[in-house]
Amino acid sequence: MAIRSKRASCHSSAGKHESRQIMSHKKSTPILGEHNAKICPVCGKRSYSAGGIHPQCAVQQADAPRAAQINAKKKAEAKKTPVARKLPQTWTKKTCPKCRVEVHVRKKTCDCGFDFFKS
C-alpha cells in the first residue's frame, strides 16, 4: 500500500514538470524554410552556404575586380599620351615685328614703343 502512495505523489510532481516544459517550449523551433536559402549573387542559383555564395563563385567574384582594375589601368594609360602634350605658347604671346621681342597678347604696345593696334 505504501508503494502505491509513493508512486502517486511521484506522478503528480512529474505532471507539474511536464506542464512547465510545455510552456517554455512554446514559440521555439523556427521552421527552416525556403526563405532561409540565399541566392548566389554570382551564378543566381540558390546557395545554402553561410555567405549565401558558392565557394567556387566566391573565387570567381574575387578575381572579377582584379580583372576590371587591369582593364581600367590599360584604358587610363591609353588616354594619357595625348593629354600630356603641351599646347604651343604662341597663343599667349605675340612677336613684335619691330624688335622681334615676344610680348603678351593683352599688351597694347611693345616695350620698344611699337603699337600693335596701329599697324
The footprint of Zn ion (CB under 5 A) covers: 40, 42-43, 54, 57, 96, 98-99, 110, 112, 114
**Alpha-carbon dihedral sign for residues 49, 50, 56, 58:** positive
For residue 38, the SS3 value is strand
Q: What backbone phi and psi angles, to 5 degrees, belong to 38?
A: -105, 155
User: CB-wise, 10 or 99, nearer to Zn ion?
Assistant: 99
User: CB-wise, 7 or 45, nearer to Zn ion?
Assistant: 45
In whole angstroms, the minimum distance from the beta carbon of 88 to Zn ion comes to 21
For residue 63, the SS3 value is helix
In whole angstroms, the minimum distance from the beta carbon of 113 to Zn ion comes to 7
**Structure letter (DSSP) for residue 46:** E
In whole angstroms, the minimum distance from the beta carbon of 34 to Zn ion comes to 17
